[in-house]
Amino acid sequence: MAETINAFKFSDKGLAEIQRYISHYPEGRQKSALLPALHVAQAENNGWVSPEAMDAIAEILNIQPIEVYEVATFYTMFNLKPVGKHVLEVCRTGPCCLRGADQMIETLKQKLNIEEGETTADGMFTLKPVECLASCGTGPMLQVRETYYENIDSEEAVDQFLEMMRNKEVETPEWKK
Is residue 131 within 8 A of residue 93, CB to CB? The reply is: yes
pLDDT at 2 exceeding the cut of 70: no
3-state secondary structure of 99: coil
Q: Which of 28-42, 93-107, 144-158 has the highest mean pLDDT?
A: 28-42
pLDDT score, position 1:
45
Domains with residue ranges and CATH for the chain: 12-72 (1.10.10), 86-166 (3.40.30.10)
Distance CA 85, CA 3 (A): 25
Distance CA 134, CA 140 (A): 11
pTM (whole model) above 0.85: no
Distance CA 27, CA 125 (A): 41
Whether a cis peptide bond, with omega within 30° of 0, leads into 140 is yes
